[in-house]
């Protein structure tokens, strides 16, 4: 029985990790990838199209307000600010007059790139709140992962203890 519990807890933990990885991939495909493409766009029109796709995904999935953190709130995990920033960027792109100069368009694209990306030691990364791919189930994933891990450890201790005595 102890070995069955151990195996089930390991399977549960691996399933939890797998689901989180899957959700991360889906978020990257449906939102983060479009934000990166909008940041890399060479024209206002192309940037608008890509940014609209990302915003549509956020609205569809309810990624418009709240915090991705579990225990305490930090500014970098505020979905409301992040989403409003995306909407404001799209509005600025849409409001840019069609007869704008190349310099004005280029400045707008630079501003968009600075809004959508961060420069890190590892290079350029898209600015998104940590844990957004698991939102709004962040608490559930945390509990699922920790409970599975704890049960695996306890059952492993009982199995090893049984083998030694």
pLDDT digit string, tens, across residues 134-150? 999 999 999 999 999 99
Write down the pLDDT at residue 165.
57
The reported pTM is: 0.86
Is 124 strand, coil or helix? strand
Tens-place pLDDT, residues 76-110: 899 999 999 999 999 999 999 988 999 999 999 99
Do 67 and 79 form a contact (C-beta atoms < 8 A)? Answer: yes
Average pLDDT over residues 101-120: 93
pLDDT at 160 over 60: yes
């Amino acid at each position: 029985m102890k070995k069955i519990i151990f195996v089930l807890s390991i399977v549960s933990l691996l399933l939890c990790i797998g689901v989180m990885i899957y959700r991360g991939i889906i978020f990257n495909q449906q939102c983060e990838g479009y934000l990166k493409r909008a940041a890399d766009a060479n024209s206002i029109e192309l940037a608008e199209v890509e940014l609209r796709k990302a915003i549509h995904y956020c609205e569809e999935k309810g990624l418009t307000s709240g915090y991705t953190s579990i225990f305490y709130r930090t500014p970098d995990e505020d979905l409301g600010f992040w989403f409003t920033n995306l909407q404001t960027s799209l509005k600025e792109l849409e409001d840019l007059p069609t007869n704008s100069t190349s310099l004005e368009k280029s400045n707008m694209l630079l501003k968009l790139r600075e809004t959508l990306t961060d420069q890190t030691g590892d290079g350029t990364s898209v600015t998104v709140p940590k844990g957004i791919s698991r939102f709004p189930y962040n608490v559930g994933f945390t509990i699922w992962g920790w409970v599975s891990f704890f049960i695996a450890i306890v059952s492993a201790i009982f199995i090893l203890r049984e083998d030694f005595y």
